[in-house]
Chains A and B, each alone.
Chain A
Amino acid sequence: DIQLTQSPSSLSASVGDRVTITCRASRSITSHLHWYQKKPGKAPNLLIFATSSLQSGVPSRFSGSGSGTDFALTISSLHPEDFATYYCQQSYTSPLTFGQGTKVEIK
């Protein structure tokens, strides 16, 4: 199975900050990497698919980059509603796997 390791596991940031979360795969997954936002008690929400494509309806402050084994999700300017946990997911091979999550908290 492909393991996805996210860094950091948690971070504290302020509204307006630029935030970057990384996701490292245990072997190359080319560009088959997606990002989700998850809030407590709510369903996950797809933000970015195929490394860098913005899902319809998602604000443009979210962006994705990377290839091979190293990927990143960047929030250019943190909004109050962005405090949540973020997960990466690979679809390169079955079983589909998720990273362990990165919790973004208010400083």
Chain B
Amino acid sequence: EVQLSESGGNLVQPGGSLRLSCAASGFTFTNFAMSWVRQAPGKGLEWVAGMSISGATTIYAASVKGRFTVSRDNSKNTLYLQMNSLRAEDTAVYYCAKDSFPSITTDSRFDHWGQGALVTVSS
């Protein structure tokens, strides 16, 4: 059974940093691209960042580019999201999502998701 488990969510002050982790199991992690998707309170889904199997390709939404960094440790079956210079508008539940393909492609869709990690940016 595919399982994705996010951790690291917390309350952080504006301008602060936080790192989310997503532990994956039940599938061959090294065969699939992974992404982070977030949902702000009362809002819809927003794709944040994605990474190919080797990490050679990483793509970011304009709203987080230059502040967030996605990475993966294939030896630990874990995806990360380093979030710096956090803003109030980054407050959201962050989901880790498994792609159906090894890279972010024109067919990319998310066939499994974690339960989410809450990040609150507030003073």
**A and B are interacting partners:** yes
- A contact set with B: CB distance below 8 Å: 1, 32, 34, 36, 38, 42-46, 49-50, 55, 87, 89, 91-101
- The reply to whether A101 and B44 form a contact with Cβ atoms under 8 Å apart is yes
Bound Cα distance A95, B49 (Å): 8
Of the candidate stretches B11-19, B22-30, B79-87, B112-120, the one touching chain A is: B112-120
Q: List 24 A-B contacts (CB under 8 A).
A: A1-B62, A32-B106, A32-B107, A36-B110, A43-B95, A43-B114, A43-B116, A44-B95, A44-B97, A49-B100, A50-B109, A55-B111, A89-B45, A89-B109, A91-B106, A95-B59, A95-B61, A95-B62, A96-B35, A96-B47, A96-B104, A98-B45, A101-B44, A101-B45
> Do residues A99 and B106 form an inter-chain contact, with CB atoms below 8 A?
no
Interface residues of B (CB under 8 A from A): 35, 37, 44-47, 50, 59-62, 95, 97, 100, 104-111, 113-116
* Contact between chains at A87 and B47 (CB < 8 Å): no
How many A-B residue pairs have C-beta atoms within 8 angstroms? Tell me: 63
Residue of B nearest to A85 (CB): B44
Q: Do A94 and B95 touch (CB < 8 A)?
A: no
Contacts A46-B109, A96-B108 known; 7 new A-B pairs at CB < 8 A: A1-B62, A44-B113, A55-B111, A89-B109, A95-B62, A96-B104, A101-B45
A43 lies within 8 A of B111 (CB): no
CA distance A101 to B37 in the complex (A): 15
Assess the A87–B45 pair: CB atoms within 8 A: yes
- Residues of A near B106 (CB, < 8 A) are 32, 91-93
If A43-B95, A44-B113, A95-B61 touch, does A50 touch B107 (CB 8 Å cutoff)? Answer: yes
